[in-house]
Amino acid sequence: MIRSSSRLCLIVSSLVFAFWASSDSNAQDWTRFHGPNGSGYIADGKIPDSWTADDEAWSAELPGGGISSPVAWGDKVFLLAADPKTAVRHVLAYQLSSGKQLWDNTFDSVPHHLHKRNRFAASTPCCDEKFVYVAWSEPQHTTVSCLTHEGELVWQRDLGRWQSQHGFATSPMLYEDFVIVFDSQQARQLKPGETAGESKMVALNRQTGQMVWETPLETTNVCYGTPCVYQPAGGAAQLVDANTGNGLFGLDPKTGKMLWNMKVFRSRCCSSPVVAGDLVLGSAGSGGGGNHLVAVRPGEEPTEAYRVERGAPYVPTSVVVGDMAFLCGDNGVATCIDVNSGEPHWTRRIGGTISSSPIVVGDKLLTIDMDGKATVLRAGKNFEKLGTADLHGNVQATPAYTQGYLLLRSENRLTAIGPKRL
C-alpha cells in the first residue's frame, strides 16, 4: 500500500539553493551509508565547532521513529521512518534547502521482535541521479525497493525470509549498474523451532530489480556492514565486506566470485569496513565487550597487518583520513591511530554510549552519543576538543554532509545545519 503527499517545492528556496550550490566548490552528494564509498570523509567541507537551535537552517519532525541515516542527491534528502507499533515503513523525501517535506510513501509491514536498540527503520537508503533504493525485512520477507526521486515505486524484489536475533539493519549500496545487498543472517543461538538463515551477497539490476548474481556466505552471526569498493594498484575493483564466518573478504563486483577472505574476527560485525590505502579495516565485538579492529592487506594470500584490541568499535564505523584512522568506541572512548601500524596517536574518553558512526568534514571529527550529545574534535594527530552541541533526543543514525549542510537525524527529527533559506 502506497500513499503520496504533495510534491510541490518552494520555488524561491530552490532558486536560492541553486545559486548557492553552484558557487560552492564542495557540492558532493552523500549517496549511501557513511558517505562516499563508506569513508565518512569529505575533505573540503566545513562544520561549526558547536551550535544551538538558533543555528539550524531547518528542522522537521518525522512521521515515525528510526535510526536510518539520511542520504542526499542535489536538493533532495531521503531517509526511512517507521511506526514502532505497526511497523509501517515511511520512505521520505525532504528539500535540502528548505526542509519542506516533498513526499511520504508508506508500506505496510508486520511487527516482529527487535533488539532494544534496533528500530523498524534501521536501514539507510542509497540513491543515484534518478532513483532511491531502500530495504527492510519482516520474518518471511526481505524487501528491496526502488523509487523515483518523485516517490513513485519502480520495482520491488523479495529476497526471502530473514533470520536474526536483533532484526534488520542492512543498508544497500550501488556499484555501476548494480544494487548490492549484504543479506547476512543468523545460525547461532536460535530459539526452539527456528531454522538457520542463509547468508549471501546479492547484486540486483538497478533498473529492473532482477537478480544479477548471488554469492553464498558462511552463516554464523547476523552482521550488518555495508560493502565498500577496494581498488588495488594495477588491478580490478573489488567489493569488500566483513562478517563473523568469512572474516574480511573481497568479491568480484561483476560476477560475485569470492576473490579472497581471511577469518580474523571472534564475534559479530556490526560496523562497515573502510579502505586505507592498500589495507582494509574492519571491526567486531559484542555488547559485553571484546571489541577488536583488524587491518588486512588483500590479495590471493591476504595477510593481517595488525589488530587493535583496546578502544576498538563494535557498532560505529571508523573513519580514515590520510595516514590516520579515527575510532569511536561504543563506550565513548575516541582514538586516533596510525593507519599503517595501528599505533595510537591519542586516546580520550569523550563520554556517553555511541552507536552513530563518526564522520570527518574538512579537519573536524564529529561524533554523537545516544543521548544526542555531539562532540567536535580536531581530526589530527594531537587531541583537540573544539566544541559540543545537543540534539535533545536519542541518536543512533550517522550524520551526513552535502552541499554545505550537516544533516542530523535523531529518533523522530531531521535537522540541517547550514545556509538558511530567505
Report CA dihedral (371, 373, 374, 375) to the nearest 10 degrees.
-120
Q: What is the mean pLDDT of the chain?
A: 93
Contact 355, 316 (CB under 8 A): yes
Pairing between strand 41-42 and 359-361?
parallel
Return the C-alpha cell found at 207. 533498473
DSSP string across 200-211:
EEEEEETTT--E
Cβ 390 vs Cβ 402: under 8 Å? no
Q: For 276-287, how does the pLDDT look when each residue is reduced to its tens digit (9 = 90+)?
A: 999 999 999 998
Q: Is 10 exposed, middle or buried (0-12, 13-18, 19+ CB in 10 A)?
A: middle
> Per-residue pLDDT tens for 26-42?
458 999 999 999 999 99
Residue 422: pLDDT band (50, 70, 90) is low
Q: Are 319 and 325 in contact (CB under 8 A)?
A: yes
pLDDT bracket for residue 3 (50, 70, 90): very low
Q: Of 306, 211, 238, which Cα lies nearest the Cα of 37?
A: 238
CA distances 353 to 223, 241, 288, Å, are: 20, 25, 13
C-alpha cell at 125: 537508503
136-140 average pLDDT score: 94
Q: Are 99 and 82 in contact (CB under 8 A)?
A: no
pLDDT of the residue at 22: 37
CB proximity list for 15: less than 8 A, separation 6 or greater: none
Report the side by side order of strands in the sheet with 131-138. Answer: 126-127, 131-138, 141-148, 153-158
The pLDDT value recorded for residue 27 is 54
As given in the structure block, the three cell numbers for residue 280 are 582494509
Residue 165 is predicted with a pLDDT of 83
44-98 pLDDT, tens per residue? 999 999 999 999 999 999 999 999 999 999 999 999 999 999 999 999 999 999 9
The full set of domain ranges for the chain reads: 11-417
Superfamily of domain 11-417: YVTN repeat-like/Quinoprotein amine dehydrogenase (2.130.10.10)
CA dist 21 and 168 (Å) reads 35
Q: Which pTM value belongs to this model?
A: 0.93
Q: Taking 70 as the threshold, does the pLDDT of residue 369 lie above it?
A: yes
Q: Is 244 helix (H, G, I), strand (E, B) or coil?
A: coil
- Supply the pLDDT for residue 12: 34
Tell which wins on pLDDT, 13 or 178: 178
Please give the pLDDT value at position 421. 67
Q: Are 264 and 247 in contact (CB under 8 A)?
A: yes
Indicate the SS3 state at residue 12. helix
pLDDT tens digits for range 399-418:
999 999 999 999 999 999 99
d(Cα 105, Cα 49) in Å, to the nearest integer? 36
CA 137 to the chain's CA centroid: 17
**Are 393 and 383 within 8 A, CB to CB?**
no
Place of cell 521512518: 81
Neighbours of 300 (CB within 10 A): 6
Q: Percentage of the chain with pLDDT > 90?
A: 89
Scanning the structure block, which residue is given the C-alpha cell 528548505? 98
What's the full length of the chain, in residues?
A: 422
pLDDT at 71: 98
Locate 90 and state its grid cell.
Answer: 515511511
Measured distance CA(293)–CA(274) in Å, rounded: 11
Tell me if 173 sits within 8 A of 158, measured CB to CB.
no
* 3-class secondary structure, 389: strand
pLDDT, mean of residues 167-193: 95
**DSSP tag of 255:** T
Q: DSSP E strands: which ranges in 167-262?
A: 173-175, 178-183, 200-205, 211-216, 228-230, 238-243, 247-251, 258-262
Question: Would you tell me how many other CB atoms lie within 10 Å of the CB of residue 254?
Answer: 16
Nearest alpha-carbon partner for 180 in 152, 158, 200: 200
Quote the CA–CA distance of 349 and 326 in Å, as a whole number: 13
Span 216-275, pLDDT tens digits: 999 999 999 999 999 999 999 999 999 999 999 999 999 999 999 999 999 999 999 999
